Structure 1
């Protein structure tokens, strides 16, 4: 009896004592967010360590096309949080893996999206083909580079942005939109597996006339290669690309990281993080946008996935499921 009591006391002491191991967090994120989180993570670690000196934090990143990251999570990757670039790649973590609850979007502000972006067109020096908007991308002979919508949220937004904007400019004439998007498919030179791969094809391999990517990636590309004199065009009619985040309840419970995971994602909403986000050319909900935002963010008439496609579920089914518009137009383009 005394032995059992002693063991019980020891167990209670171990539970009450500070963790003997440093806190660790794995953030699974989309392909082109590497530099952003390299900047954000040290600041969060500094805040966390100051408030929790007994739990020094290690923060790791995993990057790739968001759909591939979601698949890796369903196959067992033990990430604590996801910072993705579209809703379906998080929703599937509930629908297929029960890693998160059904109400995950209601747990943080702005539908759990601390920042957002839109799509941009990057053209080469002098804009030789006079590209100004979506209609110019479906002219014969324009070579397009973008991420594959089957594996990349970036690519999915590119396709939906073009489809939605052309639908608006063609006054909801879906036949005209299909004909235009069939030409888009013919014009596609490379559809890379992820956003960073598309950028490398455009920059390093000198493929394509136009790179279609997130505004943030386009502006960063322009900044990093000033000698190339890339031009960035943000079409006035454009999609609102939300960047949802969540902690993965099943994993954080197993990893004992729920508290730090929640704190990390809430940090993204704080003014310090929001200012960094605008410096990386992401649009934010912060009341006083930085000078960078004021200088570089042109006005956009946003439409949402819900407004043009009914819902994300319907967009995924009608556009990207087997025999959806993407596959159908791909087959039609190859048969010509």
Structure 2
């Protein structure tokens, strides 16, 4: 029996509708893929956070979302986003990098007010990792300036880790009542003891732990805790008398999420970091967290330490960037005279 023109037309329309539906499904799948562009030391943290968020989001909304990660030096990652890497969210280790994205129109100018605690669900500080027995007797920042002590620090021009270390050393002098010239002298001597400037914090950890270069690694508290967990008693952690508050701020990349219709899952992802589950993940990875109950639960992981802020000593991140890390700034002068 031959098909009538009307039945053929109906089948053709059905095929087109099925094809269109398939195309829409593919597009919907693509639209629910988030990219978290982050700093390298946070790789393991977000590797654990992502599947938990995906499950929670599915339960709450019925929607399936996937999360991809990109990690590297914080400032290098921010520049990649500025140059076109389509991040849905950024989870950095310093406000300076997100400010740069805000200046480019990728992130809201008031990004720090979009989420609690200056949009920083986690924070850390800078401490020292030394070899077993602490053979060089390193106790405080001034010990890093001694002759014969090799210090591993990532490049402050590309890594927030290195930037915080520089500011922590400088600020340690100011907090003790010293002046700017004395702070500059200390930081200059410390960087003369740096044998290699790695591009990011994880690369610096590899240089110290696996390549066996240096007597001291200066890095985030959560990073040294991870190293000790992995390598056992081969290393010891030394807490200086004072150090810097190192916040890990987050932001939605508005320009990307609005174009790709990802604002809801992207915002939910960052809100998840503040949830009890998200805070637990942070604490398990040795980050200091905002939830008081979770912080108390993991209190044994954190030694008391006197912390100062970038605002307190340097007048904020923008002022610190301009004076110390812009081309021709204090760091360039110090390192060029090395």
Scaled by the length of structure 1, the TM-score of the pair is: 0.90
Q: Say if 2:134 is the partner of 1:166.
A: no
Alpha-carbon distance in 2 for matches of 1:331, 1:100: 34
The answer for unaligned runs of 5 or more in structure 1 is 1-9
2:89 corresponds to which of 77, 81, 87: 81
Q: How far did 1:290 drift?
A: 4.8
2:130 corresponds to which of 117, 123, 127: 123
Q: How far did 1:322 drift?
A: 1.8
Q: How far did 1:18 drift?
A: 8.5
Alpha-carbon distance in 1 for matches of 2:118, 2:233: 40
Q: Please identify, of 148-157 and 174-183, the stretch whose mean Cα deviation from structure 2 is larger.
A: 174-183
1:248 corresponds to which of 249, 253, 261: 253
- Map 1:86-105 onto structure 2 (within 5 A): 86-95=94-103, 97-105=104-112
Question: 2:72 aligns to what?
Answer: 64
1:29-59: CA deviation from partner (whole Å, max 9, x where unpaired): 0011111011111110011112233x31111
SS at match of 2:196: strand
SS at match of 2:208: helix
Question: 2:57 aligns to what?
Answer: 48
Alpha-carbon distance in 2 for matches of 1:77, 1:151: 17
2:120 corresponds to which of 102, 113, 116: 113
1:238 corresponds to which of 230, 235, 243: 243
Alpha-carbon distance in 1 for matches of 2:53, 2:294: 21
Q: How far did 1:78 drift?
A: 0.8
1:138-171: CA deviation from partner (whole Å, max 9, x where unpaired): 11111010110000011100110111012223x1
Q: How far did 1:19 drift?
A: 8.3
Q: Say if 2:212 is the partner of 1:206.
A: yes
Structure in which a larger fraction of residues adopt helix: 2
Alpha-carbon distance in 1 for matches of 2:185, 2:81: 37
The answer for unaligned runs of 5 or more in structure 2 is 1-16
- Map 1:265-276 onto structure 2 (within 5 A): 265-276=270-281
Question: 1:280 aligns to what?
Answer: 285
Q: Cα RMSD (Å) of the superposition?
A: 1.8
SS at match of 2:153: strand
Alpha-carbon distance in 2 for matches of 1:191, 1:207: 12
Q: How far did 1:292 drift?
A: 6.4
Alpha-carbon distance in 1 for matches of 2:185, 2:253: 41
1:167-225: CA deviation from partner (whole Å, max 9, x where unpaired): 223x1322222222221121111221000000000011100000010000010001100
Bigger Rg, which one: 2
Where has structure 1 moved over 4 Å in runs of 4 or more? 17-20
Alpha-carbon distance in 1 for matches of 2:27, 2:200: 39
1:303 corresponds to which of 292, 300, 308: 308
Q: Say if 2:325 is the partner of 1:320.
A: yes
Q: How far did 1:234 drift?
A: 2.1
1:249-287: CA deviation from partner (whole Å, max 9, x where unpaired): 110011111000000000000111112211111001112
2:230 corresponds to which of 216, 219, 224: 224
1:98-133: CA deviation from partner (whole Å, max 9, x where unpaired): 012211111110010111000010000100011111
Question: 1:133 aligns to what?
Answer: 140
